Structure 1
Amino acid sequence: MDWLNAGNVIAVLTALLGLVASFAAVWYERRVPRRRRIGYRVQMDIPIGNDNRGGPGQENIRSGLFNDLPDMADATLALLRIENYGAESIAESDYTGRNVHGLTAVFTDRTVRGMAVTTSHDDEHLMDHFTPAGGMRHEDNTIYLPRVPLNHGQHYKLLVLLTGGRVGRDIRVVGGIREGIVRPNRGIPVDDKPPLFSRPARWITILLTLCVIGLAGIILISEDAPPPIGCATGKLTVNGSTGFSEVMKAVAKRYQSDCPNSTITVDAQGSNEGFQQLKDAGGNSALITIVDGSRTENLAQEMREERVAVSAFALVVNDDVPVRSLTVDQIRKIFRGDILNWNQVGGLVDRPILVVSRFDSSGTRRLFDQRVLGVKNEREVTVAGCEPDVAQAGLRRCERRDTKQVLSTVAKQPGAIGYSELQTATAVQGLHILEIDGRAPSLEAHGSNAYPFTGIEYAYTYGKPSSDSLTSSFLYYLTRGRGQDVMEDSGHPPCYKPENLERCQQ
């Protein structure tokens, strides 16, 4: 799945976002605006009485009818605009009320004393509907408006003379419209220019523009961006430790993603076997060997050693064994054959022990023998194929080629015990990890309190690789580049990070 990278994922998501925005625009244009809509807004609401109900200041000056009419002391004047601002026309039959009138205009806390209806010159025919027979009347604080048919954009206005409450009190228009709504809307002030696009159109345009810019940026970056400094091309094989192989596969995958045109194959068959392959291949091969623990005691002059990371290893037992911790002394007796049954170490179960070890070419076995058993060689194999006979007496011991085979056998065989790299073991079902001397596997403690079964992963090359080779580039990436982050995320502290330098010298 080479296409599944960050750039392609972003490109696909951006394209989908553009499609969604386009469909949303079509849906909005076809569905939302085409609902029948009557909008209203108050264009004027002012006091004309002499008691200044509009607020502090000098009294209003009136003359003529405004001065002669009674009850003008608290009078106010309101101008209300009612319009069809939807995309569909509104007919008389579209008003859903049961009464003769279609809408009502309510002026909170005020009394309607008089009103006048106005329309534009082109819409004078609308005035024929404002008759008592059409339901036109006013009572107390309410004006009853007839069922006026309105095409898109048509409107009429009510100039209303009121007495009572202050200006600014709530003015509402209520009523029902088939497949539509009646609601306040906002007008454009006289001095303002109407926008070229509606608000939804502006947002959709911005969104689509960002999508196009994002796609263009991805194309430019993917086409023109050079690989990171230090990248090399070619083919490389990494062999050696099976316990560290999953980490190396993750680092190799990251390198190939960062550095195109490079092919890195992880072919782990064991530390000793990988080390021997490196010796046999000589200096002409593109080969790096990962080994659990150092090989300085028999390191040929041509070999070059590089510390990589710290690893924790673990003893594992089948889940049918109710033991959670063993002492180093008990572990040694089990692997020597002095303890043959789990009931001899407080297991509370009569279960023969099956010791599952690694081939003698394994770096993990070498580390286990040094750090835990304190011996150079383990006992001989007594169970062929790790399938013990029920009646077999004495030490039951078998060997497996790699870490996965050890873990699979321990998880399958009742009473089995083995060892493995910690992170790999935690992902296997059917077994659990043992504490050693009451200490769980960890890389945190140091000195006398340190967990004993830990070791350093080393990288070996035959001679010093050429500075422009893939071997040199990948080795640097692994030990000092982004490969450190991959190892740390996998639970292996990189040796060349400052906080781990002291630990890797031990």
Structure 2
Amino acid sequence: MGVGATMQSLAEILSSDSGSLVLGLAALVAIAAPFIDRYFIRRRRLTFRVLYNSKIGLSPIDLHDGENGSAQAAPQLEQVARLLDRMSIVVIRVHNTGSFDIAPGDFEIPLSFTFGSRIVWDARVSDATDDGLRQHVRDGLEFFTRETPQKPVEAVKLSRVRALLPKRLAGLAAAEAPPEAPEWHGVRFARLSLKRKEKFKLVVVLRESDGYEGEISKEIDHHARLAAGRIKDDRKQRRFGWPVITTAVGVLLTGALLATLLVSWSRPGDSAQCATGKLSVEGSSAFVPIIDSIAAEYHGQCDGAAITTRATGSVTGVRALAPVDAAGKDELAVLSDGRSGEAGPDLEAKAVAVVVYTLVVNRGAGVDNLTIQQVKDIFSGRVRNWDQLRPGPSVPIGIVGRGQESGTRKTFEQKVLGGAEDRLTSDSCRKPERDPAAATTRCERGTTAEVLTEVAAVPGAIGYADVPAAKAAAARNQLGIVQLDGHYPDVTTIDAGYRFWTVEYLYTKGVPSNGSVLKRFLDYLASPTARAELQDAGYTPCVAKDGLLDPLCTRPDI
């Protein structure tokens, strides 16, 4: 099926009851997903935001201005400037933005922050929701250094950090490092608990490590894992994150569902209008299988209707309908591939679907593309072996055709050959036993299925069938589908020049009576359910969704 037919089929399905259910479920899932994630899957939410990350900015002189800065400053000022020039402050806000309290046991990995090459000198907790939270966070603060093989992780409390702060300042003032001055690179919140909506700020004083050159580093990393929750950097939260996108998609799907329902409510119902009685649908062996499937769907909704199908051939079917009297006119309908020359003025034709046909060959033929002229040469006997059309081994050509009652044969003769097929020369399809001197081996079979079976079984055989049946046989690796003049057999290539196609008609004797099974079934053929069934089978419905005929079904030559 081409892209256009696929999209049309999708539109039909979405407008059906099952499609509305799919749209409704998709909309529900899209809208509910963020709420399920927030309240059930990752119900705990902890966010943090770096509010400030910069130098202290209190240097009394400019160390980097050699002419007017430190060169003219008093030694004491220069020493203070060197101390402040490499110090920075970071302010981080931590906030429980979820709908559940967070307990210490909820952290699989405690929340911690590291600051690149900078060393922690001091820290404090401020702007807490209440004093109790401030003290709780302060008591749980831990300061640690990077772990190396020579230096395992060491964690100390805030009191230890502040106890060493005077020694650090004194050492810098004296231009010498204090003895045993440890370096802490990170801050960790041990045993942190936050009630919903609680928040606080962490203020950290940092200094670049000795030997660092260049501008103050602003690197900040966090590390944590929260069971059944998530921890997010508030600065990196996108304006259009996945919850916003899924909710928007859900709203759009809901709108599509409402529009679909409004359209459905504004037109006649898709459910079958049931009637009681019997109906026989006969004719085209190519199209009877799909009508049989649609009839089974109709019967599933209307068990009082008895619909039977029989593949008799298009011509035979129309001939059987012609003598039907008024009493039985609503009990027989006939399928014909294309308009029938057998139909009299008292027969009514209803266009059902576009039927595309294809030539099929046995795998041993070794071809997948023929020109119209080559097909004419084959069926006239001018070309008798496949080695006349392609390089390779000699493989005699055998023709498997349909009988005079076939609408498919009529379409093939009109659209491809431009004349009648040659005479019957074989019953076996393997040799011309009817006429040993005949130029071609040509047999006939009564149904599409029989043609496909013979083509698959006879080496070098060629025949023709409707595309859906041919594709099903090709999928079983029994035969090959042939392009005509470079056009693949599909409804989308018709306007490009593909010729082997027609319209399937359903003939009735006059206008069906209101309330008859025939009338109800004809109406059902235009329903979204029947149209979807036709499309799934590989046919293009003549009645479109808007109730108008497809342009292909209105052409005068079909």
Structure-2 change in CA distance of 1:483 and 1:116 (3 Å): closer
Residues in 2 aligned to 1:27 and 1:230: alpha-carbon distance in whole angstroms: 42
Structure-to-structure mapping, 1:322-471, within 5 angstroms: 322=366, 324=370, 327=374, 330-334=377-381, 342=385, 351=395, 353-368=397-412, 372=417, 374-375=419-420, 379-380=423-424, 382-383=426-427, 393=436, 396-422=441-467, 424-425=469-470, 428-429=473-474, 430-432=478-480, 443-444=494-495, 455-466=502-513, 469-471=519-521
1:42 aligns with 2:52: yes
The one of 267, 277, 283 aligned to 1:228: 267
Structure-2 change in CA distance of 1:310 and 1:472 (3 Å): closer
Bigger shift: residues 483-492 or 453-462: 483-492
How far apart are 1:233 and its partner, in Å? 1.3
Secondary structure at the aligned position of 2:42 is classed as: helix
Structure-2 change in CA distance of 1:220 and 1:129 (3 Å): farther
Structure-2 change in CA distance of 1:171 and 1:309 (3 Å): closer
Report the AA paired with residue 464 of structure 2: Y
Structure-to-structure mapping, 1:51-450, within 5 angstroms: 70-71=77-78, 80-81=90-91, 87=102, 89=104, 122=132, 126=139, 128-132=159-163, 137=168, 144=183, 150=190, 151-152=192-193, 157=203, 170-171=217-218, 226=265, 228-229=267-268, 233-234=273-274, 238-245=281-288, 252=294, 268-279=311-322, 284-285=329-330, 287-296=332-341, 298-306=342-350, 313-322=357-366, 324=370, 327=374, 330-334=377-381, 342=385, 351=395, 353-368=397-412, 372=417, 374-375=419-420, 379-380=423-424, 382-383=426-427, 393=436, 396-422=441-467, 424-425=469-470, 428-429=473-474, 430-432=478-480, 443-444=494-495
- Please list the CA deviations of residues 288-344 of structure 1 after superposition, one character each: whole Å capped at 9, or x if unmatched: 422124334x4334212345666554443323235656657644544xxx98x5379
- Does the 8 Å CA contact 2:534/2:541 hold for their aligned counterparts? no
- Does the 8 Å CA contact 1:327/1:436 hold for their aligned counterparts? no
Report the AA paired with residue 520 of structure 2: L
The one of 13, 19, 35 aligned to 1:6: 19
Structure-2 change in CA distance of 1:393 and 1:116 (3 Å): closer
Match of 2:149 in 1: none
Structure-2 change in CA distance of 1:117 and 1:466 (3 Å): same
How far apart are 1:14 and its partner, in Å? 5.5
Secondary structure at the aligned position of 2:399 is classed as: strand
- Does the 8 Å CA contact 2:468/2:538 hold for their aligned counterparts? no
Match of 1:59 in 2: none
Give RMSD over aligned pairs: 6.6
Secondary structure at the aligned position of 1:418 is classed as: strand
- Please list the CA deviations of residues 52-78 of structure 1 after superposition, one character each: whole Å capped at 9, or x if unmatched: 99xxxxxxxxxxxxxxx8357896896
Report the AA paired with residue 446 of structure 2: R
- Please list the CA deviations of residues 96-149 of structure 1 after superposition, one character each: whole Å capped at 9, or x if unmatched: 99xxxx9779669xxx9x978676865568564444469984677999559887
Residues in 1 aligned to 2:468 and 2:551: alpha-carbon distance in whole angstroms: 23
Match of 1:194 in 2: none
Structure-2 change in CA distance of 1:136 and 1:204 (3 Å): farther
Match of 2:13 in 1: none
How far apart are 1:406 and its partner, in Å? 0.4
- Does the 8 Å CA contact 2:116/2:220 hold for their aligned counterparts? yes
Secondary structure at the aligned position of 1:275 is classed as: helix
Residues in 1 aligned to 2:325 and 2:95: alpha-carbon distance in whole angstroms: 85
- Does the 8 Å CA contact 1:247/1:487 hold for their aligned counterparts? no
Match of 2:11 in 1: none
- Please list the CA deviations of residues 148-207 of structure 1 after superposition, one character each: whole Å capped at 9, or x if unmatched: 875436766457899xxxxx9545567988999xx99669xxxxxxxxxx999x986996
Secondary structure at the aligned position of 2:459 is classed as: coil
Structure-2 change in CA distance of 1:261 and 1:461 (3 Å): same
Residues in 2 aligned to 1:399 and 1:320: alpha-carbon distance in whole angstroms: 20
- Please list the CA deviations of residues 451-471 of structure 1 after superposition, one character each: whole Å capped at 9, or x if unmatched: 5x6555433121023577425
Match of 1:57 in 2: none
How far apart are 1:275 and its partner, in Å? 2.2
Report the AA paired with residue 463 of structure 2: G
1:504 aligns with 2:556: yes
Residues in 1 aligned to 2:397 and 2:443: alpha-carbon distance in whole angstroms: 11
Structure-2 change in CA distance of 1:300 and 1:148 (3 Å): closer
Structure-2 change in CA distance of 1:422 and 1:208 (3 Å): closer
Structure-2 change in CA distance of 1:248 and 1:293 (3 Å): same
Bigger shift: residues 230-239 or 358-367: 230-239
- Greater relative contact order structure (CA < 8 Å, 6+ sep): 2
Secondary structure at the aligned position of 2:77 is classed as: coil
- Does the 8 Å CA contact 2:445/2:451 hold for their aligned counterparts? yes
- Does the 8 Å CA contact 1:105/1:144 hold for their aligned counterparts? no
How far apart are 1:363 and its partner, in Å? 1.7
Count of aligned pairs between the two proteins? 444
Residues in 2 aligned to 1:399 and 1:465: alpha-carbon distance in whole angstroms: 35
- Does the 8 Å CA contact 1:286/1:471 hold for their aligned counterparts? no
Report the AA paired with residue 414 of structure 1: P
Report the AA paired with residue 523 of structure 2: S
How far apart are 1:403 and its partner, in Å? 1.0
Residues in 2 aligned to 1:498 and 1:345: alpha-carbon distance in whole angstroms: 40
Structure-2 change in CA distance of 1:237 and 1:199 (3 Å): farther
Structure 2 unaligned blocks of 5 or more: 1-15, 64-75, 97-101, 140-157, 195-199, 209-214
- TM-score w.r.t. the length of structure 2 is 0.54
- Does the 8 Å CA contact 1:423/1:491 hold for their aligned counterparts? no
Residues in 2 aligned to 1:115 and 1:414: alpha-carbon distance in whole angstroms: 91
Structure-2 change in CA distance of 1:137 and 1:467 (3 Å): farther
Q: Percent identity?
A: 20
Match of 2:147 in 1: none
Structure-2 change in CA distance of 1:245 and 1:157 (3 Å): same
- Does the 8 Å CA contact 2:34/2:243 hold for their aligned counterparts? no
Bigger shift: residues 468-477 or 210-219: 210-219
Residues in 1 aligned to 2:488 and 2:233: alpha-carbon distance in whole angstroms: 70
How far apart are 1:362 and its partner, in Å? 1.7
Report the AA paired with residue 431 of structure 1: L
How far apart are 1:19 and its partner, in Å? 7.1
Report the AA paired with residue 512 of structure 2: P
- Does the 8 Å CA contact 1:85/1:152 hold for their aligned counterparts? no
Structure 1 unaligned blocks of 5 or more: 54-68, 163-167, 188-197
Report the AA paired with residue 461 of structure 1: T
How far apart are 1:435 and its partner, in Å? 7.6
Bigger shift: residues 389-398 or 6-15: 389-398
Secondary structure at the aligned position of 1:464 is classed as: coil
